[in-house]
Amino acid sequence: QVHFVESGGGLVQPGASLTLSCVGSGFFFRNFRMYWYRQAPGKERELVANLITSDSVPNYADLVKGRFTISRDDAKNTVFLQMTDLRPEDTARYLCRATNYGDEYWGQGTQVTVSS
C-alpha cells in the first residue's frame, strides 16, 4: 500500500526553526516529483517549494525564499522542508505531494503554528 506521511510540525515562536519530513512507501520514490504546500484556515492552498529530482534546482515561493530549504533523500524515501526564521504568516497546515503525472499522493498534513 502507498503511504506518504508528514511529521515535524509544532508550535514555535517567531524566529524559530523547524524541519518537516515526509516519508513515502509503496511507490518508486525516485521517479516522483516532490512538492510542499501549505494551507491556512480560510486561505487557498499555496505551493511552498518543489524539487523535481535530487539533482534539480529547488523552486520556492517568494515569501519563503531564503528561509526555507527543500531536499530529498531518495535512499530513505524522504523529502524534507527545513524552515528558518519562521513568521506568524507561515502558520498553516503543511502538506507534501508526490507525483509522476500518472499517480499522485498526498500526505495528511502537519500543523505549523508560529506565535509569540
Show pLDDT as tens, one digit a residue, over the chain (116 residues). 999 999 999 999 999 999 999 999 999 999 999 999 999 999 999 999 999 999 999 999 999 999 999 999 999 999 999 999 999 999 999 999 999 989 999 999 999 999 99
pLDDT of residue 45: 97
Q: How crowded is residue 114: how many other Cβ atoms within 10 Å of its Cβ?
A: 21
pLDDT of residue 76: 97
Residue 36 near residue 94, CB atoms below 8 Å = yes
Residue 91 near residue 83, CB atoms below 8 Å = no
Residue 83 near residue 90, CB atoms below 8 Å = yes
Q: How far is CA 8 from CA 42, 62, 90, 108, 112, in A?
A: 23, 23, 15, 13, 8
